[in-house]
Amino acid sequence: MSLLFGDKGKNTILFLIDSTWPCSRSILLHSPNIQRLEKVSFTHTKVSSFTFKQQPKEYCLSTMESTLCVLELLTEHKLEDLDRKSLDGFLLPFEKMVEYQLSCE
C-alpha cells in the first residue's frame, strides 16, 4: 500500500465521505467546499469483505475498510502510532455486521 500526502511539515486533517458510491461521487464533484480541499489517495491490494453489496470496481472498499487502510499507512509512515493489536481488531464490528446481513438473506 502507499499513501500520497502534500506538505509533510503541516498538520493534516482527513475527511472521509461515508455514503453510497454514487452519492460520494456526487459530493466530490458538486461540493465547492470539498473541491477546494487537497485530495489524498492510496493504493492497496485488499479485497472488500462488504460482500452483501456489490462494489463498483474490484479495488473499491467500504468506508470502514478504507479507514483501516489509511490508519495502517499513517502508522507505517510514522504519522500515527497505533499498535498492531488495535489495527487487527478494527474491522471486527464491520465483519460482524456483514455476517449478520448475510444471515438475513
From residue 100, how far is each of 22, 46, 93, 97 by CA, in Å? 25, 22, 10, 5
pLDDT digits (tens, 9 = 90+) for 7-21: 666 677 888 899 888
Separation of alpha carbons 101 and 51, rounded Å: 9
The answer to whether residue 47 sits within a structural domain is: yes
**Number of domains the chain contains:** 1
pLDDT digits (tens, 9 = 90+) for 23-48: 999 999 999 999 998 888 888 899 89
For residue 77, the enclosing domain spans 19-103
Average of per-residue pLDDT values in the chain: 86
Cell digits of residue 76? 507505517
The answer to whether residue 78 sits within a structural domain is: yes
Rounded to two decimals, the pTM is 0.80
CB atoms within 10 A of CB 26: 13
- Percent with pLDDT over 90 in the chain: 46
pLDDT at 41: 85
pLDDT at 15: 87
Separation of alpha carbons 68 and 97, rounded Å: 16
